[in-house]
Chains A and B, each alone.
Chain A
């Protein structure tokens, strides 16, 4: 990278983006070589069309046994979430309080489903919200949270939604590739995925329809993606996405979980006052939201970066902004704790050496911070 003097670099920001898998790189380059417009009727076009059709199958397979015809390729997770919320055209839309900004902003008038201190949707609250208003509704709850890794009881949410005749959309952008997904088990009518979070290229994602839910297109024009998403298909992106999906091995996350758990245990041993957000809830195996009380998250992130450790203070899209995390606020995390929370996220190639590197730098920072805090107390 640019600062060549840093000898050791540890990338622990996988929830922001993952490196491109070799299989995906190869598929991207291959598709660039086999360029063609999938809508053209000539041979090049037909070959491109075939690549797209195979990719529909690969993405459907990532959800266990979804119907390849239900896969709609889009430009990424954000567009997938918009297409789900806006395209279903339901009068009422309910989203959880911890949804990604791309869901929260799709419909500013959406109603909020509260979560408990553990970050998990309060099922009774959802049930009541649906019971008091009989208009056709869409419920949107993510599979796994991008900031905390907390997993939602999606099957229960699906059952409640179904009981009230509501559609269920599940943003599975962070969960895909990290935990085994199955469309039937999730029970959602619509599922969002992103390529670059699973080692595919950025600029590609998918909305998967698991049944014949009707969808009005967000982008209008040509009849691509069965009239559900206009625009020349991003063939290399789609091919890369499919290759990454095929290469994703959930079992590798057993090792990642052990690394993450080891990291959290070390932190607890070094700093008893450190807090792991959502620790009591089921979580993704790779994510840890860690508060170092008294030290601002931005300070931690910068200090870690100076020593070659890359983490973030929350969601990447908003990490340039200041302001408290809506996710932590919804969990009623103490504002002082929330503002000192960083997100550490691991991936399939994260090594023990990287974890050690993080712990070294984090500990040094912690000791400095504590020194300052003690000095301040004495004064």
Chain B
């Protein structure tokens, strides 16, 4: 498999992808990221020589795998200042979000506190589909859910959040950094508010983890969802941080062998857990430098586009956002046409899970964009392997395509 590692290094260079003849510049890093060769290198031995079942602790193969998983757990925990025992591995952020929200709700229902039953959840209207769908499921089960609007810049209003809380509120779900518009929410303020009201604070950090500093203590976060493949780690693995002090209790979604302290049964995929750990360690070590570099590239891309495309506008707060993330409206140019017109760039209209849908983005709608403006918006995600040359190429290609499409629209038919 070592030759495969060399292969992966080669394939990261954008000129050698056998899938497509002329490889597009990849600017869809919120959707997924390529695996970092260093991560792959760490994973490979656990696919091959150390393939043991980590729960078969009666023999060496199992114990070697189990030790590797515990090291990975420590690496994941370190990046958010958590205790390793507070990390539960899952199959990804979708499962982590489902487990956090449904698990907390189901536990509260099964173990009502004396006095007041907490059966109300607050989530932003702009949360990821898997959070919204988990909430919708709980509504069908009789829980109350408040879907809180956001400000036009995509940020939560703390006053509005406070107003939405009641004695019955069990949990607040706010995405740390947004997958479509990139905005970073005031996590510490939300955490402080929730703690003061005895409400659990869950944050979906699939996009934020590894890209911006997160501190579950300082931010008073109770539940935090993590994804592997958004941080140059493997797909098929994620994690949920579950606070131990004060103890947050959940009912499991997947029960069985009792792995992960009964919170998530199923054989842990050792190579994937190792990959998530290594990806977290690399992200932690290189976060500051990478953020600066990616932010400069993003600003350069935006400057080039703003100069060459009249009327282009940024959706979501420009300051409080992920370094590599942009969401742009090109007035009167349908996004799908723009994407079609630049096959040399891999970009999207928004969340990958819903990008095949023709509906305007519910996130942009929540920001107050009209349907036509929402449909004229694209998402750009720069990442660890994006080069200055690719950035300039993308800006030029997008500007040229936008000009061409605008001209076609204004031609008499």
A interface with B by C-beta (< 8 Å): 1-3, 9, 11, 13, 16-20, 25-26, 28-30, 32-37, 39-45, 47, 74-79, 81-82, 100-106, 194, 196, 201-204, 218-224, 230-237, 298, 301-302, 304-305, 310-313, 315-321
Q: In whole angstroms, what is the CA distance A102 to B55 when docked? A: 14
**A contact residues around B227 at 8 Å (CB):** 232
**B contact residues around A43 at 8 Å (CB):** 19-20, 24, 343, 346
Instruction: Assess whether B255 is in contact with A319, with CB atoms less than 8 Å apart.
Output: no
Q: In whole angstroms, what is the CA distance A79 to B268 when docked? A: 12
- Mark each residue of chain B from 8 to 35: 1 if its CB lies under 8 Å from any CB of chain A, else 0: 1001000001111000101010011111
Q: In whole angstroms, what is the CA distance A47 to B21 when docked? A: 12
Instruction: Assess whether A39 is in contact with B267, with CB atoms less than 8 Å apart.
Output: no
Q: In whole angstroms, what is the CA distance A310 to B271 when docked? A: 20
Assuming the A-B contacts A203-B236, A316-B62, A317-B55, are A106 and B20 also in contact, with contact meaning beta carbons closer than 8 angstroms in the complex? no
Least Cβ–Cβ distance between B12 and chain A, in angstroms? 8
Assuming the A-B contacts A42-B339, A231-B91, are A20 and B48 also in contact, with contact meaning beta carbons closer than 8 angstroms in the complex? yes
List 9 A-B residue pairs with CB atoms under 8 Å apart, sorted by A's residue number: A1-B49, A35-B33, A37-B28, A43-B19, A44-B26, A45-B352, A202-B272, A230-B353, A234-B91
Least Cβ–Cβ distance between B346 and chain A, in angstroms? 4
Q: Which residue of B17, B57, B60, B92 contacts A231 across the interface (Cβ within 8 Å)?
A: B92
Q: In whole angstroms, what is the CA distance A110 to B23 when docked? A: 53
Q: In whole angstroms, what is the CA distance A35 to B230 when docked? A: 12
Q: In whole angstroms, what is the CA distance A95 to B343 when docked? A: 52
**The 10 residue pairs across chains A and B that have the minimum distance between CB atoms:** A222-B353, A317-B257, A221-B130, A234-B236, A203-B269, A102-B256, A75-B91, A29-B4, A78-B266, A231-B94
Assuming the A-B contacts A29-B7, A40-B355, A41-B348, are A310 and B61 also in contact, with contact meaning beta carbons closer than 8 angstroms in the complex? yes
- Mark each residue of chain B from 127 to 138: 1 if its CB lies under 8 Å from any CB of chain A, else 0: 011110110110
Q: In whole angstroms, what is the CA distance A42 to B30 when docked? A: 14
Whether a CB of chain A sits under 8 angstroms from the CB of B259 is yes
Least Cβ–Cβ distance between A292 and chain B, in angstroms? 15
Nearest B residue to A104 via CB reads B256
Instruction: Assess whether A82 is in contact with B31, with CB atoms less than 8 Å apart.
Output: no
**A contact residues around B7 at 8 Å (CB):** 29-30, 33
- Mark each residue of chain B from 233 to 270: 1 if its CB lies under 8 Å from any CB of chain A, else 0: 01111000000000000000111111100000111111
Q: Which residue of A3, A20, A237, A317 contacts B235 across the interface (Cβ within 8 Å)?
A: A237
Instruction: Assess whether B11 is in contact with A2, with CB atoms less than 8 Å apart.
Output: no
Instruction: Assess whether B237 is in contact with A44, with CB atoms less than 8 Å apart.
Output: no
Instruction: Assess whether A75 is in contact with B256, with CB atoms less than 8 Å apart.
Output: no
Least Cβ–Cβ distance between A319 and chain B, in angstroms? 5
Nearest A residue to B262 via CB reads A105
Q: In whole angstroms, what is the CA distance A373 to B301 when docked? A: 80
Nearest B residue to A103 via CB reads B256
Q: In whole angstroms, what is the CA distance A236 to B269 when docked? A: 13
Whether a CB of chain A sits under 8 angstroms from the CB of B298 is no
Nearest A residue to B346 via CB reads A42
Instruction: Assess whether B234 is in contact with A37, with CB atoms less than 8 Å apart.
Output: no
**B contact residues around A105 at 8 Å (CB):** 255-256, 258, 265
Whether a CB of chain A sits under 8 angstroms from the CB of B56 is yes
Can you name 18 extra interface pairs (CB under 8 A) apart from A40-B352, A204-B269, A310-B60?
Answer: A9-B60, A20-B47, A30-B7, A36-B346, A79-B266, A102-B255, A202-B267, A202-B270, A220-B134, A222-B352, A230-B94, A231-B94, A232-B235, A301-B59, A310-B61, A312-B59, A316-B53, A317-B265
Instruction: Assess whether A82 is in contact with B255, with CB atoms less than 8 Å apart.
Output: yes
Assuming the A-B contacts A34-B11, A231-B92, are A41 and B356 also in contact, with contact meaning beta carbons closer than 8 angstroms in the complex? yes
Nearest B residue to A309 via CB reads B59
Least Cβ–Cβ distance between B341 and chain A, in angstroms? 12
**A contact residues around B64 at 8 Å (CB):** 1-2
Whether a CB of chain A sits under 8 angstroms from the CB of B58 is yes
Assuming the A-B contacts A34-B17, A35-B35, A234-B91, are A44 and B258 also in contact, with contact meaning beta carbons closer than 8 angstroms in the complex? no
Assuming the A-B contacts A105-B265, A196-B269, A221-B98, are A79 and B254 also in contact, with contact meaning beta carbons closer than 8 angstroms in the complex? yes
**A contact residues around B339 at 8 Å (CB):** 41-42
Q: In whole angstroms, what is the CA distance A33 to B37 when docked? A: 10
Q: In whole angstroms, what is the CA distance A33 to B14 when docked? A: 11
Instruction: Assess whether A78 is in contact with B256, with CB atoms less than 8 Å apart.
Output: yes
Q: Which residues, 75 to 116 on B, are CB-close (under 8 Å) to A?
A: 90-95, 97-98
Q: Which residue of B52, B58, B137, B354 contacts A220 across the interface (Cβ within 8 Å)?
A: B137
Assuming the A-B contacts A44-B26, A234-B236, are A20 and B40 also in contact, with contact meaning beta carbons closer than 8 angstroms in the complex? no
Q: Which residue, of B53, B58, B270, has the highest number of chain A Cβ atoms within 10 A?
A: B58
Nearest B residue to A234 via CB reads B236
**B contact residues around A41 at 8 Å (CB):** 339, 348-349, 355-356
**B contact residues around A106 at 8 Å (CB):** 255-256
Q: Which residue of A32, A35, A101, A194 contacts B265 across the interface (Cβ within 8 Å)?
A: A101
Whether a CB of chain A sits under 8 angstroms from the CB of B229 is yes
**B contact residues around A28 at 8 Å (CB):** 47
Q: In whole angstroms, what is the CA distance A321 to B269 when docked? A: 20
Assuming the A-B contacts A2-B60, A43-B19, A102-B256, are A32 and B236 also in contact, with contact meaning beta carbons closer than 8 angstroms in the complex? no
